Structure 1
């Protein structure tokens, strides 16, 4: 057994500075947050034990060299790194999935410059806080000091709140660094985006996560100060799999595991195994935002996998959506659309199966409705594909948009109501069932419309339809009226 790390660090909390920032960068780092009523006295101080901070907060990088991952942004010679090293930072948006280091990178950028750094939260702060920070920034600007404003979760601000940032970003009163998990094209107003450089962060690789976990295990100050072998190989693999590229989740899972295995005397076992990890993290978290990029990316991959006839990939993405709590009715609707658009007459039963699955979901609910969705998904992914029926609609719509005549031929018009002058100009309508094969060739399209909209494929049931139509239209079988 090992007692684990016992060393403790303390930092002094200063008025108007958030505890997690003071703990992260030290008491002398000039990070200003929105003033709170509890921090109005200039004499208020407290002592914060860094060990009371979550492991993910303690392990935040303090310099660019400590940032794990994102070599396209912070690697040697990359524009963002050069700008930070030269203290020439300009307004920017840091966009990426949770746990990729957006907030940490924003703090590192702020701490690496000679500018004053202010911090706002897109969740808890508003325009009133912004006005106070801008007023102070204007005073510093006159004294020759720049102000960097970090806004975490900037997408949480409304359009009017984001509008309030525009004049101050444009005139240089503040250098804005915004962090967001949502696509800025949808959640950050265009005038603000146009004044900021966009940097996209990628999920960390498995090697990145392993590096981070080893650092947390071995760091004697902010981590656990233990030998890297203390984390068994199978435990490492389990934690990496749980993380799915999310650094925060990796560190939180490690911390949960350590706390679970620590005994009443604070002692740790000689090693952590995959079994320990499994006991501490009973259910894997799935990164998924039903209104964000994960939602759209996953349903896109699901549809493309079914269309591409890969039932394994299709059911995998189905399982991901079900696990993340996606609306099963939404999935069922997309399957019905796909059955007509991408399968069509190559296998007409596809629409029947998809519609039945949707009805099953409505009748029995979830989770049992997942079986019907899986049946429909694997069936649709496995049958022949054809988009010719959908393409026929697109072609006909294009013809109409292109000016094709919309006049119904006289012999096809409704025979009820008062007679029209041209009603008999083309002769009577010929009833196909009065002829062999229930077919007779006569004009159905308006004058001047050439047709050719539906061209059946040679796949599945549609191949039989093609042969049938070819037979009807062959010179030997024509029965012209």
Structure 2
């Protein structure tokens, strides 16, 4: 008998056995009602790996009586799609074909377009799955003819019964009783990052390699931790998870929540992505704290320099300090809004000649400044004199508006007094 991975052996055969996804597969859930009706539309399943997308496709094929054909877009081609289409109306697919296209984001536009004719005619029902956002990666014509369902990461609480089932199946397979130390089951369920497949792989590895004693398999918490290390991390530097974590980090700092900020920083660092953490923190210092606490910029830069000097894991210490400081600092995006407003004007063509008295003079030493009419501010009281600086077409435009924090308001009071405003 050939080897069969535990993750395949434990795969659910009915909707009630699917782990998690209660929002779409629970009693009254929309996807559950669609499946039970037997009228299956074209579907797009979107979510992390190991959350049941392939399992649900298999259940749909089984319950609808349709022939299931599977193509993985990472290795598939147009000829594979044509082969599937060629089975329509034959004895090989008497009740129609359900095409499960895994990782559809790897099909280019032309390949995805090839699906349109058959899914519109109803000869083939398409279930496409993707770990990326389908609204970015699935061709719009395919998307508009499909119903999208999001599969969410599974909680440790949801996975625990599957861990117990996996242990029971392994005991039957090995003919031995598993003696799991305290916390082992919870460690496996919690450390798999919402991926049932990872949890089953951990169970299989632990029981196959566990120490034997008097006909029992000893599974220790230490072993469980070793097997599951870092498996809780869902992270792809080119995928949605990367951008979601970086976005959550900045929004947590902007929202002045140091605990959430530390959590997302830890996720970046645990994945070994020191570069993204440092780059994003520099952005936050300038964009979100900015002029409310301008000293934050050199402080964060110093922390980043220290982190890069130390390397991981010690880099977490100065970066943690910097994140907490930014999250608890006063906030201002006035500088950010100001420069973006100025850039927007330039892109819209709102510009003009630089006033003559501001232009560069190559013979400054000859006293050409006076001929330009430039007024030297340092020669006036308060180091200020009123004169035009913007081009004629932009006179009166205001890009920067003082923030309401005490630092910028203090600057405003100072200049209001100097300028007599």
TM over 0.5: yes
Which one of the candidate residues 38, 42, 48 is aligned to 1:91?
Answer: 42
1:431 equivalenced with 2:376 (yes/no) = yes
- Segments of structure 2 that go 5 or more residues without pairing to the other structure are 364-368
Q: Judge conservation of contact 2:194–2:232 (CA < 8 Å) in 1.
A: no
Q: Which secondary structure does the structure 1 equivalent of 2:330 belong to?
A: coil
1:388 equivalenced with 2:339 (yes/no) = no
The alpha carbon displacement at 1:220 in A equals: 8.9
Map of 1:77-476 to 2, 5 A cutoff?
A: 77-139=28-90, 145-218=95-168, 231=180, 234-263=183-212, 267-269=216-218, 272-326=219-273, 328-359=274-305, 369-397=315-343, 406-415=352-361, 428-447=373-392, 449-459=395-405, 461-474=407-420
Q: Judge conservation of contact 1:210–1:236 (CA < 8 Å) in 2.
A: yes
- Which 10-residue stretch deviates more, 440-449 or 358-367? 358-367
Q: Judge conservation of contact 2:249–2:261 (CA < 8 Å) in 1.
A: yes
Structure 2 CA distance for partners of 1:342 and 1:283, relative to 1, 3 Å = closer
The alpha carbon displacement at 1:296 in A equals: 0.8
Q: Which TM-score applies when normalising by structure 2? A: 0.86
Q: RMSD between aligned alpha carbons? A: 3.3
For residues 186 and 84 of structure 1, the distance between their equivalents in structure 2, rounded to whole angstroms, comes to 26
Give per-residue Cα distances to partners, 1:393-438, cap 9 Å, x unaligned.
Answer: 2344455677766344443344559xxxxx999x822111111221
Q: Judge conservation of contact 1:260–1:280 (CA < 8 Å) in 2.
A: no
Give per-residue Cα distances to partners, 1:225-280, cap 9 Å, x unaligned.
Answer: 999x96565223212220232211222222222223252886324xx553442354
Q: Judge conservation of contact 2:99–2:126 (CA < 8 Å) in 1.
A: yes
Q: Judge conservation of contact 1:152–1:179 (CA < 8 Å) in 2.
A: yes
Q: Which secondary structure does the structure 2 equivalent of 1:306 belong to?
A: helix
Structure 2 CA distance for partners of 1:400 and 1:129, relative to 1, 3 Å = closer
Q: Which secondary structure does the structure 1 equivalent of 2:127 belong to?
A: strand
For residues 337 and 446 of structure 1, the distance between their equivalents in structure 2, rounded to whole angstroms, comes to 30
- Which 10-residue stretch deviates more, 397-406 or 428-437? 397-406
Give per-residue Cα distances to partners, 1:132-188, cap 9 Å, x unaligned.
Answer: 2211124359x8621111122222333333233222222222111122212112222
Give per-residue Cα distances to partners, 1:101-132, cap 9 Å, x unaligned.
Answer: 11111111111112122122223332222222
For residues 305 and 171 of structure 2, the distance between their equivalents in structure 1, rounded to whole angstroms, comes to 58
- Segments of structure 1 that go 5 or more residues without pairing to the other structure are 1-46, 418-422, 476-481
Partner of 2:366: none
Give per-residue Cα distances to partners, 1:206-239, cap 9 Å, x unaligned.
Answer: 3211222233334699788999x96565223212
Q: Judge conservation of contact 1:69–1:204 (CA < 8 Å) in 2.
A: yes
Structure 2 CA distance for partners of 1:164 and 1:343, relative to 1, 3 Å = same
- Which 10-residue stretch deviates more, 116-125 or 217-226? 217-226
Give per-residue Cα distances to partners, 1:28-69, cap 9 Å, x unaligned.
Answer: xxxxxxxxxxxxxxxxxxx54xxx322211111111222222
Q: Which secondary structure does the structure 1 equivalent of 2:119 belong to?
A: helix
Partner of 1:33: none
Q: Which secondary structure does the structure 2 equivalent of 1:137 belong to?
A: coil
Structure 2 CA distance for partners of 1:224 and 1:183, relative to 1, 3 Å = farther
Structure 2 CA distance for partners of 1:281 and 1:203, relative to 1, 3 Å = closer
Which one of the candidate residues 41, 49, 72 is aligned to 2:23?
Answer: 72
Structure 2 CA distance for partners of 1:87 and 1:307, relative to 1, 3 Å = same
For residues 321 and 360 of structure 2, the distance between their equivalents in structure 1, rounded to whole angstroms, comes to 44
Structure 2 CA distance for partners of 1:212 and 1:364, relative to 1, 3 Å = closer
For residues 248 and 266 of structure 1, the distance between their equivalents in structure 2, rounded to whole angstroms, comes to 27
Structure 2 CA distance for partners of 1:86 and 1:470, relative to 1, 3 Å = same
The alpha carbon displacement at 1:443 in A equals: 2.7
Structure 2 CA distance for partners of 1:325 and 1:160, relative to 1, 3 Å = farther
Q: Judge conservation of contact 1:219–1:225 (CA < 8 Å) in 2.
A: no
Q: Which secondary structure does the structure 2 equivalent of 1:123 belong to?
A: coil
Structure 2 CA distance for partners of 1:247 and 1:224, relative to 1, 3 Å = farther
Q: Which secondary structure does the structure 2 equivalent of 1:334 belong to?
A: helix
